[in-house]
Amino acid sequence: MSEPYRIRSAETWDAARLAYLDGCSADEVCGRFDLGLSAFRKRAKAEGWRRADQAEAEPFDDADAAADNGDDLPDMDDQALADLARRRMGVAARRGAVTEALRWARLRDFALRQMRDQQRLSARLAAPDPDDPPPPLPQPVEKQRENAVAILARARADLQKVHKVHSNSGEAPRLNRTERRRLKRMKKQTGPP
C-alpha cells in the first residue's frame, strides 16, 4: 500500500532547502524532515535550488585556506579513524545505504591494517640484534639445568652398569618386563652411552 499524502509547512521546506544547500544529500534531508524523495526533487527543480542550478563556486585553494585559518585540519590517529569509520558505517547500515556503509568499512579496514603494520614494524625494530650475545640466564634456570645434567649422569651410570653386566657374563641377564621397560625409557632419555 502506498504512503499517505503528506503536506509540510513552508518552514519545513525552507529548513530542508538550507540543509540540502549546506551539503546534505537528498536522502538525508528527506529522512531528517520526513519528506518524500520525489516531492523533494520536484520542488528543488521547480524552485531552482538543486545543486545543478547553483552558480559555480570558485576553485578551492588548499594553501590559501590553511593560511587563512592559521592551521590545517587536525591529524587523526589510526585508532580514532577506525572508531569514526565504524560509527559512520553503523549509521549508514541502519539507514539502508549499503554502498556508503561498505565505503566506511573499507576505510576502517585500512586504518586497522595501518595499525597492525605499525605494530609489526615497531616489534621488528625492538627485536634484539642476532649478533649480540644472549642475555644471561636467570639463576633458577641455571639451577634447573644443573639438576637435569645430574639426573642424566646418574641414568647414564646405571646404563653402563647394565652394559657391564651384559658384557662380563657370557649370557644375557634375565630381566623382568618392568626392568626392560625402565631400561628402554632410560635409553630414550639419555641417548647412546
Domain boundaries defined on the chain: 1-70, 77-126, 146-190
* 43 vs 55, higher pLDDT: 43
Contacts of 46-51 with C-beta under 8 Å, sequence gap 24+, read 47/17, 49/17, 49/20, 49/21, 51/20, 51/21
Tell me what the mean pLDDT of segment 12-21 comes to: 90
Report whether pLDDT(133) > 70.
yes
Residue given cell 587563512 in the structure block:
68
- The fold adopted by the segment(s) 1-70 is Arc Repressor Mutant, subunit A (1.10.10)
Q: How confident is the model at residue 144 (pLDDT cuts 50, 70, 90)?
A: confident
- The answer, yes or no, to whether residue 68 has pLDDT greater than 60, is no
Q: Is the pLDDT of residue 173 over 70?
A: no
pLDDT > 90: percent of the chain: 11
The per-residue pLDDT for 179 is 82
pTM of the model: 0.36
